[in-house]
Structure formats: structure tokens, C-alpha cells
Amino acid sequence: MSTGDMTETGTTGVTTAAQWWERFFRYGPYGLLGLATAASVVSAELIMSRSDVYAAAALVPVALVLELWWGRHGPTVVPRSRVAQFYFVARTTLAFALTCCNPFFSIFAVLGYFDAARLLPRRAMRAGLLVTAVIMAGSQSGSGLPPTGLMGWIAFGIVFALHAAITLVFAQIGDREAEQTRAQVDTIAELESANARLEQALAENAGLHAQLLLQAREAGVADERRRLAAEIHDTLAQGLTGIIAQLQVVTSIAGTDPALARQHLDRAAALARHSLGEARRSVHDLVPAALEHDDLVGALKKTVTGWGDRHGVRAEFTVTGTAEPVHDEIAATLLRIAEEALANAGRHAEASRVGITLSFMGDELALDVRDDGRGFDPAALPPRRRGAGGFGLSGMRARAERIAGTVEVETEPGCGTAVCARVPLVRHGR
């Protein structure tokens, strides 16, 4: 037999015993009352007087009505309640009176041994058992109730002592059942408390989950806004700045050198078309236009050359290490950082020379942008420029941080500026 079979058998045995006792307490009183009545009728001529017969004939229907009432209402009555105590006292009183009429009615009185623990509180249980023991001893001592004569009392005392010992056994059983009941009640209370705590925890988790979803949604919206703002700054703002610069030149030379003015107008138109394309790509989160047909090295080289031509500044681009194809997001981030650093140099540095170096260093990429301009004091920047919402140095740092990189700026007034971006080297296709 397997463990599962043994467990099933044990559980079935416990269930069967409980069902058996339930049937006994429901139907047993009728059977015992009927058996006691039948034995009394058979022995009536031998041990019952006429008055005992009349008394028993009146009391048996009362006992039957009591059992019918209990059979109907007993299953719904709370154990050890006042109703349960009333039933036990009434039944025991009737059993005592019937046993006085005929000792065979003690067969009905024996019920007190089995259900005193179920019907009476713990303090009254022993008294109920002792009363049952008195009835049983009186019926078995030979002299009936009450005992007659010295020998009758001696016999009653001996039999009562025996039944008193039996009551101790039943009292122990009752105490054990009471402890098991209390343990079950405590277990049920603990389970209910645990369930309540679990439901509360689930409700709190549901609230936290909803709050986290809301925060994640808000963070996503904020991050997308920052991305679009940075893209607009790096594309439209820089493009418009370049267009304005070209148009200002056209305005100043339009009457003196039409050919040169036309050249600057063409540059302004090209910048406008380029900025429009970059804006569309930014909205759709696409790679910069410079990376559509070139790798990072080629895109940086063209960007540096074009910037130098527009600003009339000597701009040099250098690659160190072994160049490798890099992931699109890494390339786009470094290209945007280079464009912003060059834009800052063109707007603020008044530099005559700019050097851009892209270094492949094992698992890391480094982009250095240096100029010989006037420099600045980082501590003197307005809050917007330092990172409280601006898209210059703070924008470069934010871009690098999104791909686990860093941006450092070294500068001081009169000594130029160096911007160094370091990001992980994630190769193309990973």
C-alpha cells in the first residue's frame, strides 16, 4: 500500500468514525429508549408496581417527544449552549425518574456518558457524568433508586465507585475533545487572520502595482519628451542657427557680390532640407541621416568637415585604434554628442581650431572634442545650462547615460574646452 493510499485510508477512517458518532447521537436515543421500554414491559410483572407502570406509561411519551424535538432542532443548536444544557438536564431527569420505575430504563440513561462533553460546559460536565453514574449505580446495585437497607446502600456505593471511575475516563475524553475543539477554533481563527492579512497584502500590492504602472507611464512620457526636446535642439535649433547665419551673410553682401550671396543661399536651403529630414527622423526615433549611408567614422568625418566649412574654422578629425562597426544607437549617440559639442564651439568658443578624436579602446569608445577657444567657468553657468532642463552639456550627459556612458567637460576661462564622452563599445549586430 502506497503512502497516498494509507493517507486516504486514514482520512476515510476518521470521516467514517465522525459520521458514525453523528448517526449515533441522532438516532441512538430512540433505539435506547425503545430497548429500555421493551425490557421494562417484559419485566413489569416482576419488579414494577401498578403506580410504577402508570408513571412509566406517562413518562415514556414525554421522553419520546423530547427526543423528537431534539432530533429536529439539535443539529442547529450551538454545542454547550443553554438549549443544549436544557436538553441534557431534561433527558437526565426523565431517565432518573424512569429508572426509579424500572432499573432497565438505565439503558436510556447511559446516553449521559457519551454526550455530556458535547452538551455541557466544562465545569458542568463532571456533574452531569456523576449524575449519570448515580443512575447507573442505582439500577445495577439491585435495590433500585433510592437504595433500601444497609446492604442496598453498600452495593450502591460499590457500583457507584465503579461508575465514578468510568466518569473519570469519560471526563478525560471530554477534556481532550474540548482541547481539540479549542485548537481547531484557534487554527480557524489564525487561518482567518492570515487570510485577512493576505487579502490586505494583495490589495496593497494591487494598489502599488497600479501606482507603479502610472509612474512607469509618466516616466515613459517624460523620457519621450526629453528625447524629442533633445532631438529638436540638436537638429532644428542647430539647423535654424546655421540658416540664420547664412542669411545674415547674404544680407550683408547681396549688393556687392551676388555670386557669393547665391552660394550662401544654397547653403541655407541645404541646411533647411537637412534639418527637416532630421526632424522627421527624430519624431520616428530613426537614426540620424548621416548614418544612413556611412558608418560612425564616415559620418563623423563628414560632420566635422561640413561644420569647419560653414564656420571657417580649421577642424581635424582623427581615429585611433582599430575601427569597428558599432551598434546604431551607440553611433547615433556619439554623433549627436559631437554635433552638440561642435555647435557649442561655434556659438560660444570663438575658436580658431577644433580637434575631434574617436578612439576604439577594446570594449570602450571615447569621443574627444577640443577647441582653443575662450573657455568658460562651469560653475558660472546658469541653472538651465548646468542641467536643470537645458539641452547643451546636460543633453550630452543625458544621451550618454542612456547607454551607460559618461560625459566630462574640462575647461576654464581663456584655456579652451575639452569634451570627453566615453560609452561601451557595442558592436553592430548585437
How far is the C-alpha of 313 from the C-alpha of 378, rounded, in Å? 24
Domain-located, residue 111 = yes
Local confidence band at 386 (pLDDT 50, 70, 90 cut-offs): very low
Domain-located, residue 367 = yes
Cis amide bond preceding 146, omega within 30: yes
Domain-located, residue 47 = yes
* Residue 52 bridge partners (DSSP): none
What is the phi/psi pair of residue 276, to 5°?
A: -65, -45
Question: Among residues 119, 146, 173, which one ends one of the domains?
Answer: 146
Count CB-CB contacts under 10 A for residue 299: 23
Domain-located, residue 83 = yes
Mean pLDDT score, 151-155: 73
DSSP 428: T
Local confidence band at 279 (pLDDT 50, 70, 90 cut-offs): low
Mean pLDDT score, 38-60: 90
Mean pLDDT score, 82-104: 90
How far is the C-alpha of 46 from the C-alpha of 328, rounded, in Å? 115
Mean pLDDT score, 53-77: 91
Q: What is the pTM of this model?
A: 0.41
Minimum mean pLDDT range among 71-85, 182-196, 400-414: 182-196
Q: Are the C-beta atoms of 424 and 364 separated by less than 8 Å? A: yes
How far is the C-alpha of 107 from the C-alpha of 63, rounded, in Å? 13
| Domain housing 356 | 313-430
Question: Among residues 146, 178, 211, which one ends one of the domains?
Answer: 146
For residue 390, the model assigns a pLDDT of 41
Q: What is the largest CA-CA distance in the chain?
A: 155
**Range from 93-97, 192-196, 240-244, 342-346 that averages highest in pLDDT:** 93-97
How far is the C-alpha of 411 from the C-alpha of 366, rounded, in Å? 18
How far is the C-alpha of 89 from the C-alpha of 112, rounded, in Å? 10
For residue 427, the model assigns a pLDDT of 83
Question: Among residues 96, 127, 146, which one ends one of the domains?
Answer: 146
Domain-located, residue 333 = yes
Residue 414 neighbours by CB under 8 Å, 6+ apart: 374, 375
Q: What is the CATH number of the domain that holds 402?
A: 3.30.565.10
The number of folded domains in the chain is 2
Domain-located, residue 36 = yes
Q: What is the pLDDT of residues 331-380, one digit of tens each?
A: 988 998 998 899 888 888 888 999 999 999 988 999 999 999 888 887 77
Task: Calculate the average pLDDT of the chain.
Answer: 79
Mean pLDDT score, 254-260: 72
Domain-located, residue 142 = yes
Torsion, Cα of 201, 203, 204, 210 (10° steps): 140
Domain-located, residue 279 = no
Three-state DSSP state, 168 = helix
CA dihedral over 68, 32, 126, 147, signed as positive or negative:
positive
Mean pLDDT score, 123-146: 77
